[in-house]
Chains A and B, each alone.
Chain A
Amino acid sequence: MGQYGVLVDVTKCIGCRGCQTACKNWNDLPAVKTTFTADWTNPPEMNFNNITLVGFHTIEKDDKVQWRAAKVQCFHCLEPTCFEVCFVHAYNKTPEGAVVYANPEICVGCRYCQLACPFHNIQMKWDEVFSRVRKCSFCYNRLVEGLKPACVTTCPTGALKFGKRDELLQEAKERINSNPDKYFNHIYGEKEAGGTSWLYISDVPFEDLGFNTDVFQKSIPKYTWKYMKKAPILAVSLPIFFAALYAYTKRRAENEGHGH
């Protein structure tokens, strides 16, 4: 079974925020009081009750000031760092491609997942005593029932397209190749952090949409695991080495002690 993904075509997004509302409806998230900001991004930032957010960006293109809107949520890495760095297995990586914070009851609240997320897309409920995190679950409870994620179902313009990730990647390449003048030649999510299930194409550079284009281009867990797998070897060999030194130098010290 191939992993699922979503292709986001920023050129088709009209910024209606239907996805934001659908996400709140499906996940039963309360409304939050927002503040007025200079652009239309509302609320100004993602938070515990807004795990997806349509970001609005003013861009100068073709000598005109234009708006672009791009929805952001957890990108569902193919090799998720949050899953890798959790020391209690609070996260699940499902065969469908969804990265789910599945076991909040065993979460310690160390927030290493938040720190290590290459896209900073994990949110914390700070106003609670035993606060835990929340992130987009790819509507995993819908996926297993054969439904598309709530945001995709709602999108009226086809800016969000749900399907198998490899097919979507193919389609993204075709869209760019068949219209190279329109699209900026970059599929965000193809290589970022080793690849993500959510793929983005756009007619403007991604840094103009507030995306971190400096993000690590390889799978982070590969590096952490390369380090971690040495630990058991060291844990066994070092004490043996120290014990040998201990015995040897102690004998020497004793011999010297008898010497005088």
Chain B
Amino acid sequence: MYDERYTSRFGFRMTPLRWAMFAFMVLFLAVAGYRFVFGLGPVTNLTDQWTWGLWKYLVFPAVALAGCGYGTVFLAHVLHIRAFYPIVRVAMVVSLMGYSVAMVGLLFDITVYYNFWRPFAYWGYTSILFEVLWCMTLYWTIQILEFGHIAFERIDAPIIYKALDKAMPVLICVGIMLPTLHQASLGGLFIATTQLHPAWWSLWIPWFFMISSLMVGPAVVAFSCWALCRIYGKKFEELMPSLNPLILVGAALMIFYTVLKVWDLTARGAWGYVFEGTLQGNMFLLEHIVFLLVPLVMFLTPSIRNSVGGLVTASLLCGVGVVLNRTNVMFTGMAPAYTHSYFPSWMEWVGFAGLLVGALLVILFFVENFKILEGISDAEEAKDSAVSPVTVQG
């Protein structure tokens, strides 16, 4: 519903850091232009062995961290738990930008980019990538529409807002199925890559990817809320009553994930690979002890969970753990199968960082101009008590 409290024009506060970020985006656009004119060969350090490099990699952690969207939306909008209303919009916006980074990153990475639409016309239904692409594209569209529902509170177009409002229940229900499927399928992609180190290669890898994307969600929400509160001078403590139960949901999922991992390693008899003392084994231990068990214990300790410093630190560790997991699956775990080494070129790094910086700028713009940090608007909350919406013009 259009909210008359928005009176000022759209704006974006410029700080020296933001000027620097924009300057970097100019460099990014130059690299992007170079890449689309000359192709991947001159721009990247990819080889026939390391054929998936930094840009393809970007999709995996970005989408995993964007898992904060569907989990929180499920709790707030499907289960209608009021405690999560104040934070659900932050989760949605961070998730939307995570997917945007992934989708644009994919366009950067495919060599025949004018053929990007082909999978939708030539159904390669046997490929897990086919499912990933369909679900990611549809979910991205749905997230944009869901964000539209927020944006049109401010932009006065009652017809569009009402249409979106009507569609929201459908968008939400379909919009949770899609990431459930493709988070798993992103892991499923690595069923086919049997060269992956046995510490990670498992037929259960789809479920590991799905559960880890869900369990990292609360941590991403907590960290994002904290960062945004700091930037915009809001009281983070006010969000703690929402974040506390959310973090416990995440911790429960982390326990489930840990149990599944132990079960999987035992069933496959793969413990030997974990303790083999190689880079792969050690990275596996680092990932699962420092960045899974440590934050889990921190989340479960009330005194740490209830302190801002403890909550944010544990969230950061948990987030790094999931990013490290994707890094290990794509790079560390693949390395033994290849004779070449791979380190991204500077242009790959600029593309990688540019997409992230761009997403960050958009998040800041959204938060400054729409009601994100405020949580679900009063109007929407009132509507939950079956009050019919009233459109205010002006």
Contact = CB atoms under 8 A, between A and B. Distances in A.
B180 A126 contact: no
A258 B386 CA distance: 9
A79 to B, nearest CB: 11
A250 interface: yes
Contacts of A127: 39, 41-42
B303 interface: no
B52 A107 contact: no
B12 interface: no
Interface string A173-193: 000000000000000000000
B27 interface: no
A156 B43 CA distance: 43
Contacts of B384: 250, 253-254, 257
Contacts, number: 181
A234 B169 contact: no
B78 interface: yes
Contacts of A30: none
B347 to A, nearest CB: 14
B112 interface: yes
A88 B124 contact: yes
Interface stretch (A64-72, A198-206, A239-247): A239-247
A110 B180 CA distance: 23
A258 B385 contact: yes
Interface string A119-162: 01011101111111000000000000000000000000000000
A118 B195 contact: yes
Interface residues of A, number: 58
Given A227-B206, A234-B180, A129 B39 contact: yes
A108 B181 CA distance: 23
Among A81, A122, A215, A235, residue most surrounded by chain B Cβ atoms (within 10 Å): A235
Nearest to B382: A257
B37 A115 contact: no
Interface in A224-248: 224-225, 227-228, 231, 234-235, 238-239, 242-243, 245-246
A96 interface: no
Say whether chain B's binding surface is mostly helix, strand, loop, or mixed: helix
A254 B41 CA distance: 59
B378 to A, nearest CB: 14
A245 B76 CA distance: 12
Report which residue of B111, B338, B386 has the largest number of chain A beta carbons within 10 angstroms of its beta carbon.
Answer: B111
Contacts of A14: none
The listed residue with most B CB atoms (<10 A of its CB), out of A81, A126, A225, A250, is: A126
A253 B128 CA distance: 39
B40 A131 contact: yes
B42 to A, nearest CB: 7
B203 A223 contact: yes
Contacts of A231: 131, 181, 185
Contacts of B82: 253
Contact of B192 (A215, A224, A235, A246): A224
Given A126-B47, A231-B181, 19 more contacts: A47-B48, A85-B127, A87-B133, A89-B124, A108-B112, A108-B119, A111-B56, A111-B111, A115-B52, A118-B194, A120-B338, A126-B40, A127-B42, A129-B39, A131-B39, A224-B127, A238-B181, A242-B173, A257-B385
List the 5 closest pairs (A to B, CB-CB), nearest first: A109-B111, A257-B385, A87-B124, A126-B41, A129-B39
16 contacts: A85-B192, A86-B124, A106-B115, A108-B112, A114-B48, A114-B51, A124-B51, A129-B39, A132-B111, A212-B337, A224-B191, A227-B128, A227-B206, A235-B177, A245-B79, A253-B82
Interface of B: 37-42, 46-49, 51-52, 56, 74, 77-82, 109-116, 118-119, 122-131, 133, 169, 172-174, 176-177, 180-181, 185, 188-189, 191-195, 203, 206, 337-338, 384-386
